[in-house]
Amino acid sequence: MTAPVTSLLANTAASVAQNDTLEANAQAWYQQALRELQAGTDRFFAKLLLGQWIAAIFLAQFLSPLTWAGRTSSVHPHVWIALFLGGLVAVFPALSGFRYPGQTLTRHTLAIAQMLMSALLIHVTGGRIETHFHVFGSLAFIAFYRDIRVLLTATFVVAADHFLRGIFWPQSVFGVLTASPWRTVEHAFWVLFEVSFLIMAIKRSLEEMLQVARRQITLEDLNEAMEEKVRARTEQLRQTEERYRTLFEDAPLGIFQASPTGEILVANGAMLEVMGFSSHEEMRAAGARLHGVPASNPTVEELLQRLKVKGQLSSQEVAWQRPDGSTVRVQESFKALRDCAGEILSFEGTAEDITQRRELEERYLQSQKVQAIGQLAGGVAHDFNNILTAIIGYSDLLIDKGGLESVPRAQVHEIKRASERAASLTQQLLAFSRKQTLLPRVLRLNTVVSEMDQMLRRLVGEHIQIQTKLASDIAAVKVDPGQVQQVVMNLVVNARDAMPDGGKLTIETANATLDEEYCRLHPEAVPGTYVSLAVSDNGVGMTPEVRARLFEPFFTTKAVGAGTGLGLATCHGIVKQSGGTISVYSELGVGTTFRAYFPTTRESVEELVATERSASLSSGSETVLLVEDEPMVRELGVLALSSLGYRVIEAANGVEALNRLEKMGADSISLLVTDVVMPEMGGRELARHARRLHPGMRILFSSGYTYDAIERGDLLEHGTYFLAKPYTMALLADKIREVLESPSTVPVNGAATAN
Amino acid sequence: MALGPNTAAPFAARPKVIANAVVSVIWLTLLFFGFRSVWKYEATAGATGPAPTQWPAGAPVSFDPARSNLVMLAHPKCPCTRASVAELTRLLTQAHGALTASVLFYTPTGEAGWENEGLWKTVAAIPGVQVAADPDGIWAQRFGAETSGQVVLFDRRGQILFRGGITGARGHEGDNAGENIVLALALGQAGSDASTPRETPVFGCEIFSPEAHPEKPSLTSLP
């Protein structure tokens, strides 16, 4: 059997089963309707019988109140018959009709009583032919039951009346004395005639009732199916409405509907948030309108005019003022809903709070700016530092070399000082752009601040009082102490400049925890534990506009020549490069507080050992391989190291240096001093080859390049040292001596120093 | 119509069914005896007196020698006689003028309100029917009637043809033997058929008070 045929049979079977169910329900409905009809008819006959009984009494009293014998009279038997026999006929069936409506016995009892009531009335009215119509009327009434058996019972009563009278008084029925006995048959015929029609009517009526029942059940079935569909569709609609309502309410974008006059009628949660209301009630109470304030926004009238022309407005940026007075930058879009005549019914639109986005964009632009400057600084640092190395180095050689007159010597000192300022500027450029080389150490900020105390007091002058509040249980941080000193110094100088007439400057350290809420408000911050370093003054304070551009490089409020605009930018760069964050709180005329946060560490605190330089340059006799691609610096190095007693072998790049090493034997070289970035072979690769030839070889890197160039990879690993350009002869001599005197396997992190 | 719960009280229990059946049987039995009494009452004929063979001389209604003459003796206040009057009206209609009818109403001497009341007025309204008072029922006695509604039929010569009632039961209209006989005799359709009854029972009130007429003559056959 094929699948379609099976499916067809299954459908047919289901249809048959459904039809059977419908037919059963129709039959039940039909039976119930019939029962209710018959019960109603029972009650009807009960009342009718009692009414007929009373009528019979009145009729008897009216038609034959007295019976006479001459001049004497007495109550007519018809009155007693109507009263007592009528009561016997009516009361019991009436009670049954009232008490047991719908029961078969009740029906038959009432039918018998009704027919006997006909007989009684015929007797009471003297057998008037008109009264015989009561029989036919009663039969018709009994047909109300729509029960043929009841009709037959009634017919039987009529027949029994004639039959019994025929038995007991045959002359009154069959008429021994009757000339026309067929009249009785005629009576019976008309009764049977009516009964036959009534039976037909009952059958048809029952059939119609059954049809009505079938239609009703079919209708109810259809209605139920329809209701089920309606319920399902209603549920679908509810779910759809719920989805759209949730979409509307939970949308991250503010959605609203406004009247033509600009009054906001409907708004979702995001819209309320944008407008600065906590609830719809609050919004309605405030009578929120579009573009009420600030005055710089277009008015509703202007919006209407624009919408009439364009039909809709998209992504226009305005500023809204919230009830609390704050201003929020909003990107809004409008669409006008019009009626058939083109009149505007309402506005619909969206509004998005872009305040934070704009701030982030500004920060990003700032970051891009810093990065660009940093790239610029990094780009020129190498060459610039090489140049400065040469200038400073040769200045040192001239100064150290005897025989110069006092005037030229002073001028060489000025050259060197200018070069050092240029080097410092270069370092600051690298610092704010976070591209300088950090040499972090685990320490407590209290130590750094304490060591700077005297120097800071000299720096700010006597008209400013410095107060230091250092937390006793301060946690350790891992930072470059030199850079932290730079931060402190820059902040203190900034505070000093904010108090030209003197004031109070407070340096404070404390443990701090930045939570999620703080970080939400300060996107640059990361949750965690920190040590805060706060520098406060009670100076002139800052306006919001100044505060917004505070860490921008080259931004300064100081007079031309009084500041470079790099101090706070450098602080910002150092703190960020150290993994921390910096915030500022300032009130105009009250003062300013800078608070730098440095992340805490669980590592052990290292002792800060101050290196003391001897007055004379360190000298030696070891063999040093100097690798430098910049001839000016290389020649300076050869000259300086030779003058200090070292045997110097020079090479212009890594390949040449490697040839020298292989030719001379690695063991004959005590120290490899190499630039990091060189053509053909850089310092890093050269060091790797050198170590392969002589694993214990001491190596000193030197570079004018910065963080990006030298921090990648494992340059500063065990046994390597670093000397940043530009450097003085003294630094070079001390560093070489330090490296040569250190054990060959000493980790660099514990001993290397820069600058 | 809504399909509601079954409002018909079911037969609660078998004892109740039996009780209902018993009560019904008792009720039917009582009805049987009640209606039997009614039938018996209605089928019980009244008394008749000795009948005259000739039209009595001096009767208060005139004798019509051209037609058969029918005399009805009636009590004017008897409700049962209303059926006899109705049958008389029907009889006259069917006789098509072959009958001359008269009704003598009993009137007690010295009592007002008996003439021209009730049945008297009904009969007086029937065209061609003579109506006369029968003081103290003198003429009822002479015509041999003791029960209201009795008729006596005489031929053109004044010879009695029939006497009896023209209703099938007391106060009950409808076809009956008396009416049929009178009509046949009046129309000359009865012939000499011996089987044709010449007397039928009379159903109605007594014309005389029991104390006024203690001896009631029994019904006897006419010659």
Note the maximum CA span of chain B: 82
Residue A617 within a domain: no
- Token couple for A453: 């105390």
- Say what the ipTM of the complex is: 0.84
Q: Where are the alpha helices (DSSP H) in A503-559?
A: 516-521, 544-548
Q: Tell whether A15 is covered by a domain.
A: no
| A282 has a chain B CB within 8 A of its CB | no
The H or E element spanning position A449 is helix A445-460
Instruction: Report the distance separating Cα B88 and Cα A388, nearest Å.
Output: 166
pLDDT of residue A282: 87
Q: In three state form, how does the secondary structure of A362-374 look?
A: HHHHHHHHHHHHH
Q: Does residue A609 fall inside a structural domain?
A: no
The mean pLDDT value for B119-128 works out to: 91
CB contact under 8 A, A70 and B206: yes
Q: Locate tokens 């008396």: which residue?
A: B178
Contacts of A432 (CB under 8 A, 6+ apart): A370, A373, A374, A553, A566, A569, A570, A572, A573, A574
Q: DSSP per residue over A685-746, as a string? A: HHHHHHHHH-TT-EEEEEES--HHHHSSSSTT-TTEEEEESS--HHHHHHHHHHHHHS-TT-
Domain harbouring A670, CATH code: 3.40.50.2300
The answer to whether residue A518 sits within a structural domain is: yes
Give the number of A-B residue pairs with CB atoms closer than 8 Å.
Answer: 169
pLDDT at residue A121, as a whole number: 92
Mean pLDDT, all residues of chain B: 84
The pLDDT of residue A710 is 52
**pLDDT, tens digit, for every residue of A189-229?**
888 899 999 999 999 999 999 999 999 999 988 999 999 99
Q: Render pLDDT for A646-682 as a digit per residue (tens, 0 to 9).
A: 999 999 989 999 998 888 876 788 899 998 888 888 8
Domain boundary at A531, A566, A599, which?
A: A599
- Residues A77-81 have a mean pLDDT of 94
Q: How confident is the model at residue B43 (pLDDT cuts 50, 70, 90)?
A: confident
Q: Which of A12-21, A536-545, A552-561, B166-175 has the lowest mean pLDDT?
A: A552-561
Q: Do A572 and A674 fall into the same domain?
A: no
Portion of chain A with pLDDT greater than 70, in percent? 87
Secondary element (H or E) of residue A651:
strand A647-651
pLDDT of A452 higher than 80: yes
- Chain A segment 166-185 residues within 8 A of B by beta carbon are 168-169, 171-172, 175, 177-180, 183
Of A92, A116, A168, the CB nearest to B39: A168
In a 13 Å sphere around the CA of B12, the CA atoms on its Cβ side amount to 7
Q: What is the pLDDT of residue A748?
A: 37
Query: A261 and A198: one domain?
Result: no
The answer to whether residues A131 and A261 belong to one domain is: no
> Is A479 touching B (CB cutoff 8 A)?
no
Give residue A240's pLDDT: 92
Q: Confirm whether A316 is domain-assigned.
A: yes
| List of E strands, A163-308 | 254-258, 264-267
Q: Is B9 helix (H, G, I), strand (E, B) or coil?
A: coil
Count the Cβ atoms, other than its own, within 10 Å of residue A646: 24
Whether residue A194 sits in one domain with residue A84 = yes
A205 Cα distance to chain centroid: 69
* Domain final residue pick, A219, A236, A267: A219
Please, where are the H alpha helices in A64-169?
A: 77-80, 86-99, 104-124, 133-142, 148-168
Which residues are A266's β-sheet partners?
A257
Contact A127 B172 (CB under 8 A): yes
To test the contact with chain B by mutation, choose from A34, A41, A71 the residue with the greatest count of B C-beta atoms within 10 A, namely A71
In terms of average pLDDT, the best of A448-452, A677-681, B60-64 is: B60-64
pLDDT band, residue A165 (cuts 50/70/90): confident
Q: Pick the range with the lowest mean pLDDT from A61-70, A71-80, A162-171, A400-409.
A: A162-171
Same domain for A587 and A689? no
Given a cut of 50, is residue A175 above it in pLDDT?
no
Assess whether A517 and A649 both reside in one domain.
Answer: no
The confidence score (pLDDT) of residue A577 equals 84
**What pLDDT does B138 receive?**
92
| Burial degree of B202 (CB within 10 A; 0-12, 13-18, 19+) | buried
Looking at the structure, do residues A82 and A215 belong to the same domain, yes or no? yes
Q: Is A8 domain-assigned?
A: no
Mean pLDDT along residues A167-175? 58
Q: Is the per-residue pLDDT at A116 higher than 60?
A: yes
- Domain limits at A564? 445-599
- A197-216 residues touching B, CB cutoff 8 A: 216
Query: CATH number, domain at A287?
Result: 3.30.450.20
Q: How confident is the model at residue A417, as a pLDDT?
A: 85
A30 in a domain, yes or no?
A: yes
Neighbours of A439 (CB within 10 A): 19
Q: Does one domain contain both A199 and A287? A: no
Return the minimum-mean-pLDDT range out of A465-479, A560-574, A737-751, B124-138: A737-751
* Chain A from 99 to 118: CB within 8 A of any B CB: 100-103, 105, 109, 112, 116
Question: Which pLDDT value is given to residue A342?
Answer: 80
- For A574, A613, B222, the CA distances from A480, given in Å and listed in that order, are 9, 21, 167
**DSSP H or E run through A469:** strand A464-470
- Flag whether residue A29 sits within 8 Å of chain B, measured between CB atoms: yes
- Indicate if A644 and A687 belong to the same structural domain: yes
pLDDT of residue B71: 96
Mean pLDDT, rounded, for A738-746: 72
Contact B174 A127 (CB under 8 A): yes
A271-290: average pLDDT: 86
Residues A57 and A125 in one domain: yes
* Predicted local confidence at residue A230, as pLDDT: 94
**Model confidence at A522, in pLDDT bands (50, 70, 90)?**
confident
The answer, for A66 touching chain B at a CB cutoff of 8 Å, is yes
In B47-165, alpha helices (H): 81-95, 119-124, 138-142
The answer on pLDDT for A518 being more than 70 is: yes
Cα of B109 to nearest chain A Cα, Å: 10
The whole-angstrom separation of Cα A653 and Cα A627 is 6
Instruction: Assess if residue A149 is contained within a domain.
Output: yes
Range B72-79 average pLDDT: 94
Nearest to A139 by CA among A125, A157, A126: A157
- Is the CB of A36 inside 8 Å of chain B's CB atoms? yes
Total count of domains within chain A: 4
Between CA A619 and CA A504 the distance in angstroms is 48
Last residue of a domain, one of A353, A371, A402: A353
The verdict on A477 and A529 lying in the same domain is yes
Structure tokens at A557: 């409020």
Q: Do A69 and B208 touch (CB under 8 A)?
A: yes
A176 lies in the same domain as A56: yes
Neighbours of A45 (CB within 10 A): 30
Q: Indicate if the pLDDT at residue B1 is higher than 60.
A: no
The pLDDT of residue B217 = 41
User: In this structure, how many other beta carbons lie within 10 angstroms of the beta carbon of residue A416?
Assistant: 19
Q: Is the pLDDT of residue A699 over 80?
A: yes
DSSP-derived letter for residue A539 is S
Query: Of A616-625, B82-91, B109-118, which one has max mean pLDDT?
Result: B82-91
Buried b (16+ CB within 10 A) or exposed e, A77-112: bbbebbbebbbbbbbbbbebbeebbbbeebbbbbbb
Average pLDDT over every residue of A430-452: 79
